[in-house]
């Protein structure tokens, strides 16, 4: 099993820190933050999918990172339906 498959199947926290996401992507922190800001400034059309909790707190959804790695597709988090086991969403 590749490290990517192990990562995708692990039951760790669904949100990654920027440091964790950059390590998985094998890029530096500076580039990771540049891509995160590109995502925020582009309205989710390009860059690294992130959720901003405060000025200094960005998190990368594990499933969105896996989508980016596997397909090259950047997910617009505001439009996406995240696969969450056992959860229901009211619409």
Q: What is the pLDDT of residue 89?
A: 47
> Which domains does the chain show, CATH number per domain?
3-71 (1.10.10)
Average pLDDT value over all residues in the chain: 85
Evaluate whether 44 touches 64 at the Cβ level (below 8 Å): no
Reported as a single tens digit per residue, the pLDDT across 6-60 is 655 666 789 999 999 999 999 999 999 999 999 999 999 999 999 999 989 999 9
Q: What is the pLDDT of residue 78?
A: 83
Each residue of 29-50: b (16+ CB within 10 Å) or e? eeebeebbeebbeeebeebbbb
Q: pTM of the predicted model, to two decimals?
A: 0.74
């Amino acid at each position: 099993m590749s490290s990517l498959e192990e990562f995708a199947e692990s039951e760790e926290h669904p949100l990654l820190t920027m440091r964790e996401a950059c390590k998985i992507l094998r890029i530096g922190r500076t580039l990771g933050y540049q891509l995160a800001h590109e995502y925020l400034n582009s309205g989710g059309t390009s860059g690294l999918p992130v959720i901003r909790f405060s000025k200094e707190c960005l998190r990368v959804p594990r499933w969105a990172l896996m989508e980016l790695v596997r397909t090259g597709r950047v997910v617009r988090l505001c439009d996406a339906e995240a696969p969450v086991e056992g959860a229901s969403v009211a619409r």
